[in-house]
Amino acid sequence: MMCRLPVIAVLVLHASHGAVLAADLGGVVVKLDDYAGPATVSAQLVEPFKVQLAVNPVGETKPLRIRVELPESGPRAWAAADVEVRDTQDKAMMVRRAGIEWSKLLIPVPAVPASYFVHAVQPPGEKPSLPSEKERVLVDGATGLRLGIAKWRDGRKAALSIRFDDSHPTHLTKAIPILREYGFRGTFMVNPGASQPGYRRRSAFETQRAEWEAVARKGDHELANHSAHHRGAVGDDDMEAEIGGAAQVIWKLTLGRSKLMALNLGGGTHWETTRTLRYYLDKYHQFETSGSLGMDDVYGNRVAAFRRALEQHLERGLWCRIHYHYIGDGLSSSEANFRAALDVAKEHQSKLWIAGMADIHKYQTERNASKLALQQSGPKRLTFQLTCLADATLYDQPLTIEVLVAQSVDASRLVVKDNGGKTVPSRAAHVNGVSALRFNVAPRNALYSIEMTP
């Protein structure tokens, strides 16, 4: 059940049977799928992120399938997770998608003249407006201190997540022991569903449940959702069972911890639902991140490709994501190549935050939802308020506050205290040659003070 990336197809729409290209669909491609008969589909952008489809069967009697491809990047990109399709009676239509290509829709329709609307739904609930980047910086003249929320934990330049798919036995025998040698945290996308009648194979996770439980207990690696059985889903109930069922098994193994986890539906799978992906993400506290460098040896020169990707992400201060399947000689990644890539990460370790996907997603989300405000300041003491709008039940990754110190100030004499007067551990650092101080705080609304000790 290895999920290989499909060959990336270049999206060029040629006028062909069943295809009608309207004036400007904002980059959306619409055509009849796998069809060479007389029927046609036309499309019209009726408002931003809402396309009307009109089927004209022209004598066709067999059911048709409309293929809709939404742009994934650029200013006209659609939020694919928020997209659904409705008919003119406002009934949600069943839509089929591939697990890792949610922006490509296949809509089965009868061969009758009819209209349908493909549109991005505004997620429910009022979105709080997030603080600006400027509000995460605080400059105080009285103390000569400049505070900011570090882009990444501990002031690292970029983040790296190392993902493993399919709960393969070599994750327990190879990947985890080797990661532990390096002291790196991995994210393990598991398929924890129980064996089902009609499926010959017993799930690897079920066979090695005790070992996976031990990994979860130890907590040095992250478990994430790769769906219950890696077989896709047919219908809304099956979607719930595959996404929600897997989430529930993982929650049970990580009782008392945040329920937030990464979701990847797996390559080679198909999913049919009338609902948006957002519905399932929100209901089960999942998040989805696309874009990851596949590290299977079959792609060739993986270590060099990883080095290049990592250096680019370091330069731009971004989150670098890579993923593996099976580790071992003769398997998707040889042990030697796996170790060589980890050696590259190790080389850059001082500038890199190597963490689980949920850790990184949490930090990013919390930081975007946070701001700093000056409460009080004098020559010897500064008090500031941290405000964080992220949901405290899910978001628990500490944030790093960075304090740049003017040359006239002796950084070693600064002490950070919480509102109860308790000292917050801090570490001296240098940021672009300027002396600095870093400390971690919970992503919660709170007051802190920085004092100059005699």
Indicate whether 3 belongs to the interface with Zn ion (CB under 5 A). Answer: yes
Find the shortest distance in angstroms from Cβ 228 to Zn ion.
12
Angle at 33 between CA 29 and CA 36, to 5 degrees: 115
Q: Closest CB to Zn ion among 92 and 172? A: 172
In the numeric block, the tokens 């959306």 are attached to: 28
| Interaxial angle between packed helices 302-316 and 335-347, expressed in degrees from 0 to 180 and rounded to the nearest 10 | 20
Q: Closest CB to Zn ion among 166 and 359? A: 166
Alpha-carbon span 38 to 299, nearest angstrom: 41
Alpha-carbon span 366 to 400, nearest angstrom: 11
**Nearest alpha-carbon partner for 176 in 36, 319, 328:** 328
Per the CB < 8 A criterion, the answer to whether 317 and 152 are in contact is: yes
Q: Closest CB to Zn ion among 3 and 160? A: 3
Q: Closest CB to Zn ion among 3 and 399? A: 3
25-33, 161-169, 246-254, 441-449 -> range binding Zn ion (CB under 5 A) = 161-169
Find the shortest distance in angstroms from Cβ 43 to Zn ion.
33
Per the CB < 8 A criterion, the answer to whether 192 and 208 are in contact is: no
The 3-state DSSP class for residue 126 equals: coil
Alpha-carbon span 310 to 320, nearest angstrom: 6
Find the shortest distance in angstroms from Cβ 260 to Zn ion.
21
Q: Closest CB to Zn ion among 7 and 36? A: 7
* Interaction pattern, residues 121-160, with Zn ion; x per rule: CB under 5 A: ----------------------------------------
Q: Are strands 293-294 and 319-324 parallel, antiparallel or unpaired?
A: parallel
Q: Closest CB to Zn ion among 3 and 162? A: 3
Q: Closest CB to Zn ion among 5 and 112? A: 5
Find the shortest distance in angstroms from Cβ 262 to Zn ion.
13
Find the shortest distance in angstroms from Cβ 68 to Zn ion.
25
In the numeric block, the tokens 């290509």 are attached to: 101
Find the shortest distance in angstroms from Cβ 327 to Zn ion.
14
Q: Closest CB to Zn ion among 227 and 273? A: 227
Choosing from 60, 84, 166, 296, the residue that interacts with Zn ion (CB under 5 A) is 166
214-222, 261-269, 384-392, 398-406 -> range binding Zn ion (CB under 5 A) = 261-269
3-state helix, strand, coil in the chain (%, to 5): 25, 35, 40
Sequence letter at residue 171 = H
Q: Closest CB to Zn ion among 175 and 310? A: 175
- With b meaning 16 or more CB within 10 Å and e meaning fewer, what string describes 316-326? eeebbbbbbbb
17-25, 141-149, 175-183, 264-272 -> range binding Zn ion (CB under 5 A) = 264-272
Find the shortest distance in angstroms from Cβ 325 to Zn ion.
7
Q: Which tokens in the block code for residue 27? A: 């980059």
Per the CB < 8 A criterion, the answer to whether 211 and 170 are in contact is: no
Find the shortest distance in angstroms from Cβ 291 to Zn ion.
16
Q: Closest CB to Zn ion among 73 and 195? A: 195
Q: Closest CB to Zn ion among 60 and 166? A: 166
Alpha-carbon span 130 to 38, nearest angstrom: 51
Choosing from 131, 232, 266, 356, the residue that interacts with Zn ion (CB under 5 A) is 266
Alpha-carbon span 243 to 292, nearest angstrom: 21
104-112, 258-266, 312-320, 433-441 -> range binding Zn ion (CB under 5 A) = 258-266
Q: Closest CB to Zn ion among 3 and 239? A: 3
The 3-state DSSP class for residue 284 equals: coil
Length of the chain, please?
454
Choosing from 72, 165, 359, 366, the residue that interacts with Zn ion (CB under 5 A) is 165
Angle at 337 between CA 335 and CA 341, to 5 degrees: 115
| Cβ neighbour number for residue 238 with a 10 Å cutoff | 17
Per the CB < 8 A criterion, the answer to whether 449 and 381 are in contact is: yes
Give every CB contact of residue 121 below 8 A, 6+ residues apart in sequence.
Answer: 82, 83, 84, 276, 278
Q: Which residue number is nearest to Zn ion in terms of Cβ?
A: 3
Which value, in Å, is the radius of gyration of the alpha carbons in the chain? 25
Indicate whether 296 belongs to the interface with Zn ion (CB under 5 A). Answer: no
Alpha-carbon span 152 to 100, nearest angstrom: 27
Site of interaction with Zn ion (CB under 5 A):
3, 165-166, 266
